[in-house]
Amino acid sequence: MFTGIVEELGSVVSREGPRLRLKANTVLEDVTLGASIAVNGVCLTVVDWDADAGWWEADVVEESYSRTQLGDLEPGSPVNLERPVRLEDRLGGHLVQGHVDAVGEIISPAPNLKVKVPEALHRYLVEKGSVTIDGISLTVVDPASDGFTVAVIPHTTEVTTLGRKGPGDRVNIEVDVMAKYAEKLLAGHQKADT
């Protein structure tokens, strides 16, 4: 689990087949083989690293490349990085799994960020609800007929990829898992009542 509070802005070093190499420092401080690190909101597993040289690698399956915007990344692309939450940490954002629900498209950039998302996600987007964009925990300002808007503070645009994204850019979207659980539980009760 993650919080959606980005720890570091890293970058892509290379992609060779499934192997993705990323430049980083902070997230490597306590890294171990098999550790999870969220990259633009996608939970990846560390398979190799060199903390002194400032890089780490993950094997990314084709499913993850095709279902997220990780496949769009090129050498030099900036990425949001976050280590998983520890039970003794404060939960500054919301519970984020690192399991992307869909890829959205930026309609208008930060600070009044509007993102278009597939219709299947609309029911999970509520005013003042949580949403994750490229691994960043944000609060929905206005659910719209084709997506939603969020207000992005200057600090977030400076320390994440959102300050570098514009209209047409693709972003990873993860809706609040609690909403999905509530929907599933209610569906079971509705079937039992009929």
160: DSSP letter = S
What tokens appear for 143 in the block?
């659910």
The fold of 8-82 is Elongation Factor Tu (Ef-tu); domain 3 (2.40.30)
What tokens appear for 5 in the block?
């509070």
C-alpha angle 56-57-63 in degrees, rounded to nearest 5: 145
Contacts of 50 (CB under 8 A, 6+ apart): 56
**Per CATH, the architecture of 102-184 is what?**
Beta Barrel (2.40)
Q: Could you give the C-alpha distances from 111 to 32, 155, 158, in angstroms and in order?
A: 36, 11, 11
Per-residue pLDDT of the chain (194 residues; tens, 9 = 90+): 899 999 999 999 999 999 999 999 999 999 999 999 999 999 999 999 999 999 999 999 999 999 999 999 999 999 999 999 988 877 788 889 999 999 999 999 999 999 999 999 999 999 999 999 999 999 999 999 999 999 999 999 999 999 999 999 999 999 999 999 999 999 877 766 66
pTM over 0.85? The answer is yes
What tokens appear for 72 in the block?
């769009």
Please, where in the chain does CATH 2.40.30.20 lie? 8-82, 102-184
